[in-house]
Amino acid sequence: MTDKSKRIAVFELGEIPQEIAHKHPYYPEMISQWLAPALPEATFVGLSPVRGDAMPAPDAFDGYVYSGSRHGVYDGFDWIEPLKAFIRSVAGAGRPQFGICFGHQIMAEALGGKAVKSEKGWGCGVDMYDVRLNKVKEHRSQIAVMIWHQDQVIALPDSADVLGGNEFCPIGIVRYRSPALSVQFHPEFTKQYMIDLLDLRGGKAIPAELAAVARESLKHAPDALRIAQWTGDFFREQLDEN
């Protein structure tokens, strides 16, 4: 690719909490700001099933990104099953897909895996993932990632490979042969957004002790730029083939 002729749709599958929405971009913009420097050849277009946008045709865009969400894949919203069907249709059309957190979970559900509310509870802050070196293009065994989730993928289809994770979240990075790539963590989150989430949810949805540990973890910078480059390489490889 040498110009912005390739279009990538970024699906908003959850909304920024109202209390802090005035301080941060909505998720499609947040994701685009993170990924665009590593994929300057592409144009990013936000779509929002949670706000009522219809699913496009599977071949309407050259690639797709699915955001995180406060919802679970097991919730009964009227856009959940159509989204699963859409992911399967995109896979059938051979378009590249990338899922983040909820996007990681619903991609697994759509393609033959399983995601549940984990008995391990919440994970939040900066954590370390082990990465399978033979599956990525960089000689590094660990990456620092920003996490905010209580649901986890617990099973995958035979068409998927686990590329990374840790003891808390063993299925943290997945590559499908469809082609698709997904991550349980939030590479698009900024430190300030995580601080604001902890201010908002700490001592409430998030136990106070866990929130304190998460705040302390923020002294470590996540490898957001490196992960953006991996993701950009994934899309570039697939888009150049098409």
Secondary-structure class of domain 6-117+151-184+224-241 per CATH: alpha beta
List Cα–Cα distances, 19 to 58, 96, 189, in angstroms. 34, 34, 17
What's residue 140's pLDDT?
A: 56
In the 8-state DSSP scheme, what is residue 125? E
**Distance (Å, rounded) from C-alpha 180 to C-alpha 177?**
7
Q: Are 181 and 174 in contact (CB under 8 A)?
A: yes
Instruction: Report pLDDT digits (tens) over 29-39.
Output: 999 999 999 99
Residue type for 79, please?
W
Neighbour tally for 147: CB within 10 Å: 25
Secondary structure (DSSP) of 160-225: EEEEEE-SS-SS-EEEETTTEEEESS-TT--HHHHHHHHHHHBTTTB-HHHHHHHHHHTTSPP-HH
Q: What's the pLDDT band for 221 if we cut at 50, 70, 90?
A: very high
What's residue 114's pLDDT?
A: 98
Q: Are 209 and 192 in contact (CB under 8 A)?
A: no
Quick one: average pLDDT of 12-28?
A: 97
Q: Check whether 58 has a pLDDT greater than 70.
A: yes
Instruction: Report pLDDT digits (tens) over 72-124.
Output: 999 989 999 999 999 999 999 999 999 999 999 999 999 999 999 999 999 99
Q: What's the pLDDT band for 242 if we cut at 50, 70, 90?
A: low
What's residue 3's pLDDT?
A: 59
Instruction: Report pLDDT digits (tens) over 125-179.
Output: 999 999 985 544 555 589 999 999 999 999 999 999 999 999 999 999 999 999 9
Q: What's the pLDDT band for 1 if we cut at 50, 70, 90?
A: very low
- Mean of pLDDT over the chain: 94
